[in-house]
Amino acid sequence: MVLKIFDRLYAFLWQDYRQNNCNTYFIDAGKRILIDPGHSHLFSHVEQGLLSLGVDPRSLDLIIVTHAHPDHMEAALLFTKPTMIAMGATDFAYLKEFAGDYYRIPEPDFFLQNGTLDVGDTKFHVLETPGHTPGSICLHWPEHNALFTGDVVFEQGIGRTDLPGGSGKLLKESIVKIEALRPHYLLPGHGGILSGEKAVRDNFRQVRDYWFRYL
């Protein structure tokens, strides 16, 4: 399902709960950016979504990976130059440690770290937000006050911390850090999207009240 969030931002929401895959986001900002392409064998739904927007999947400029779990990043391996791939350095090392040569992932074109990311005609802020994985990142788009959270925080939920490299303590700190941005849009890797500062703020509060005791 293709959902237009606002001009230049589209979500390809994953709705088949019999399979594990993530929400994918497409940003058209002078450069064509895809966030979390999902599993390779399920990539056709993203392809169909892009084609329905008149975008040739081979014309993408940049694939941003929020973290190194296969349901978010595996389809990044389908791309070849000149499409670039970016992810956190810690998660690239983590991927090599746990998946070995299985994915034969190429070295990303650049690593994402705390700070500004200039792409096309816009700017993002990268935030290193470990906890779900050691090198998870969130991406904040100040122009729209939109926050892409990967598996850090969802609508009424949080990412698991019981997978290799997970840390409840770090996830808690990461959630507090991104909450301070007071985003208008919460664009998570799974489940529904939230919009409106109050809805997003209430969601952070509910997440803290309910989940932080387990971390």
CA distance 88 to 141: 17
Residue 151 sits in the site that holds Zn ion (CB under 5 A): yes
Q: What is the nearest approach in angstroms of Zn ion to the Cβ of residue 215?
A: 16
62 to 101: interface string for Zn ion, x by CB under 5 A? -------x--------------------------------
Exposure b/e, 168-189, CB count within 10 A at least 16 = b: bebbbebbeebbeeebbbbbbb
CB of 61 to Zn ion, least distance (A): 24
Residue 74 or 179: which CB sits closer to Zn ion?
74
Strand-pairing partners, residue 116, are: 125
Q: How far is the CB of 43 from Zn ion (least distance, A)?
A: 17
The strand ranges marked E within 9-101 are 9-12, 24-29, 31-35, 62-64, 84-88
d(CA 173, CA 141): 21
In order of 5, 130, 165, 166, the CA distances from 94 in angstroms are 32, 12, 8, 11
Give the residue at shortest CB distance from Zn ion.
Answer: 69
Q: Give min distance, CB of 21 to Zn ion, in A.
A: 11
The stretch near Zn ion (CB under 5 A) out of 30-38, 104-112, 150-158, 191-199 is 150-158
Region from 25-33, 108-116, 118-126, 149-157 binding Zn ion, contact rule CB under 5 A: 149-157
Question: What's the closest the beta carbon of residue 19 comes to Zn ion, in angstroms?
Answer: 15
**How many other β-carbons are positioned within 10 Å of the β-carbon of residue 104?**
8
Give the shortest CB-165-to-Zn ion separation in angstroms.
10
| CB nearer to Zn ion: pick between 134 and 183 | 134
Q: What does the alpha-carbon distance between residue 150 and residue 153 come to, in Å, rounded to a whole number?
A: 7
Strand partners of residue 153 = 158
User: Considering only 52-60, 143-151, 175-183, 191-199, which stretch makes contact with Zn ion by CB under 5 A?
Assistant: 143-151
Binding site for Zn ion (CB under 5 A): 69, 151
